[in-house]
Amino acid sequence: MAKSAETFKSRIFHDLDFDKPGKQISYLRVPQSRDGGAWSTVEIPIAVVKGGKGPTVLFTGGVHGDEYESQIAISRLARRIDPGSVNGKIIMLPAVDLPAALAGRRMCPIDGRDFNRCMPGDARGSFCEMLAHFIESMIMPQVEVSVDVHSAGNSMEAALCSIMHWVDDPKTIKRTQTLTETFAAPYNVVFWGVDETATVAASAERHGALSISTEIGGYGRVRPDAVRIAERGLDNVLKWMGIVEGKPDTTQPDGGQTRQMMVRDQRSYLFAPSDGLFEPTFVPEQQIKAGELAGYLHFVEEWARLPQPVEFPIDGYIWMAPGSGRVKKGDVMAVIMQEFTDN
């Protein structure tokens, strides 16, 4: 492939041709000089499958290493997809932050960064910043739809959902919600006013792509139903875009469709009032009311100190529940979602 100015600027090298028909299974080689390996690289798995002239979709997983469903679902899709059945281009990165994925951690063990806070990156920056710069400058300009699959990580468990940012254009909101109903997780959560400009999802939006993420699962384990939702969701998106033939299967166990929810502002978050051991009263999806008991903070190091009751700030349903037991003052112990309304 001819080297564009951007390829030259990036320190990452690879043997992919993003315009070549067929299936390419390869690696992005991120330079990582170290003791014993002056020209060492970290090889980030990537697959590009192309056929015909249809649209381009990006599927990313393992942006956080302690979220596993995406790593399984996207790897499996890359192995099984037949390029002869593809009209368009599918770019797949099943383990974006591979060092974090191998360590089972949210943060990258090489530079200590959260990859999903590194976009648009820096060609001369740290490991995550170099990789973010490549995705921002080389991949995102190609992409019409981006699905970044997350599953809440070690510290939280989520109601099985897709998520999307609130953007000011009502048509984009509607079309993105249609995409979430195509992905067909049980819930979709629309975010308002969250500072997420450095995420993969925000990078896709900057490039004019339809952009969704997910939070399917959590607690640092692999949920079988979440793997199935991810696999069906990715297949559905390919069918919806016309990249593969077929009709999306969007059925839900209750016979309905994806429930449109929202997390409007900071009142949706239950912050820990002090350090302690949190005993929650709730699980994901549970309906709750403002003022109800959310749980107790226990202070096991002080016999005389009674557990501190904590109340829910607003009505709604539990979107995120805590997984860590111990919390620090200011940590999020729950996030509450409400039925979506656009006024």
CB of 163 to Zn ion, least distance (A): 10
* Min dist. Cβ of residue 32 to Zn ion (A): 23
Q: Which helix (H) or strand (E) holds 337?
A: strand 332-339
Dist CA 308 CA 273 (whole Å):
9
In the list 64, 133, 223, 264, the residue contacting Zn ion (rule: CB under 5 A) is: 64
- Omega before residue 94 within 30° of 0, cis: no
The answer to the question of residue 113 lying near Zn ion (CB under 5 A) is: no
**Region from 28-36, 60-68, 245-253, 292-300 binding Zn ion, contact rule CB under 5 A:** 60-68
Q: Return the residues of window 65-84 that contact Zn ion according to CB under 5 A.
A: 67
Q: Which of residues 252-291 bind Zn ion (CB under 5 A)?
A: none
Question: Which CB atom, from 9 or from 117, has the smaller least distance to Zn ion?
Answer: 117
**Least Cβ distance, residue 151 to Zn ion (angstroms):** 7
How many Cα atoms occupy the beta-carbon half-sphere of 295 within 13 Å? Answer: 20
Write b or e for each residue in 3-12: b if 16 or more Cβ atoms lie within 10 A of its Cβ, otherwise e: eeeeeeebbb
Closest distance of CB 67 from Zn ion, Å: 5
**Strand 316-322 relative to strand 156-165: parallel, antiparallel, unpaired?**
antiparallel
- According to CB under 5 A, which residues from 147 to 176 bind Zn ion? 150
Distance in Å, CB of 53 to Zn ion, minimum? 33
Nearer to Zn ion, 214 or 236 (CB): 214
Nearer to Zn ion, 186 or 220 (CB): 220
CB nearer to Zn ion: pick between 67 and 181: 67
For every residue of 41-106, DSSP letters joined together read EEEEEEEEEEETT--EEEEE--SSTT--HHHHHHHHHHHH--GGG-SEEEEEETTTTHHHHHHT-S
Q: Would you say 81 and 73 are in contact if contact means Cβ atoms under 8 Å apart?
A: no
Nearer to Zn ion, 205 or 241 (CB): 205
What is the nearest approach in angstroms of Zn ion to the Cβ of residue 116? 6
Question: How far is Cα 226 from Cα 161, in angstroms, rounded to an integer?
Answer: 9
Cα 292 off chain centre by: 31
Shortest Å distance, C-beta 149 to Zn ion: 9
Of 45, 90, 48, 91, which is closest to residue 71 (Cα–Cα)?
45
Choose the binding region for Zn ion from 3-11, 146-154, 259-267, 333-341 (rule: CB under 5 A).
Answer: 146-154
Closer by beta carbon to Zn ion, 244 or else 335: 335
Size of the site for Zn ion (CB under 5 A): 3
The residues of the shown chain that bind Zn ion, judged by CB under 5 A, are 64, 67, 150
